[in-house]
Amino acid sequence: MTTGTLSGITYYPVKGCAGTALPTATLTAAGLPHDRAYAIADEKGDLRWQGGNPALALITPELTGGELTLRAPGREPVPADGGEVHAWLTDVLGAVSTLVRCPTGNAGRLHVVSRSSLDALNRRIAARDAAPVPMDRFRPNLVVDGWDVPHTEDGVARVVVGGAELAFTEATIRCAVTMVDQRTGLRSGPEPLRTLADYRRVAGGGLAFGAYFEVRRAGRVAVGDEVRGGA
């Protein structure tokens, strides 16, 4: 059993847009409530993602009392249920865009990343004389400090945190989203994918960083909770 501390909880009300940090949350079989409950579609109905639309990172959803509001730099906030939301999104993204609901949300998955994994990656990036990347490049739901061995999240079958129990499902395969600066909404690669390619390539050619877990036992979690991982 390896022990750490839960240092971050984040959910993403609109898929691909900015996340909202929480001090505490109740995990259910569906994962974090309201995580990826909405998405933004293009004129064909395909969902937009940061790899193709990095400006999504500049849209900050705010969910209060069940009402969703969207904010972006230099623009007036817009209610999600208002008739002007689609025109607002189209203006922000520079292409026809529509806000849609995602009935399955994030399909019950939680994305977990340990601080030691990020630290190990940034040491390798620094060795190339490149700038370190922040945790938000990987858009985790839960961040764990204190797991001393990098990528512990890959090797634990079960995690107990607060009143919840999680089960490992698969490693997270990374894409171009990790090269988007979440603060500017601009692509700023080639890191971290260039360095991940040196040591995190898996069967099939993908680059793994972080892991997905499903909720086996629902329960409340809070920043500061002990996180125990084991077989």
Task: State the pTM of this model.
Answer: 0.95
Q: Other C-beta atoms within 10 Å of 5: how many?
A: 16
Residue 43's nearest CA partner among 102, 97, 99 is: 97
Taking only the tens of pLDDT, the chain with its 231 residues reads 899 999 999 999 999 999 999 999 999 999 999 999 999 999 999 999 999 999 999 999 999 988 999 999 999 999 999 989 999 999 999 999 999 998 665 568 999 999 999 999 999 999 999 999 999 999 999 999 999 999 999 999 999 999 999 999 999 999 999 999 999 999 998 999 999 999 999 988 899 999 999 999 999 999 999 999 998
Measured CA to CA, the distance from residue 207 to residue 58 in angstroms comes to 26
Measured CA to CA, the distance from residue 13 to residue 27 in angstroms comes to 15
Measured CA to CA, the distance from residue 36 to residue 39 in angstroms comes to 7
CB of 98 closer than 8 Å to CB of 70: no
170 phi and psi, to 5 degrees?
A: -170, 160
C-alpha torsion 218→222→227→231, nearest 10: 10
**SS3 assignment, position 184:** coil
CB of 137 closer than 8 Å to CB of 178: yes
CB of 17 closer than 8 Å to CB of 60: yes
Two tokens, residue 156: 């634990």
Residue with the two structure tokens 């002990």 = 226
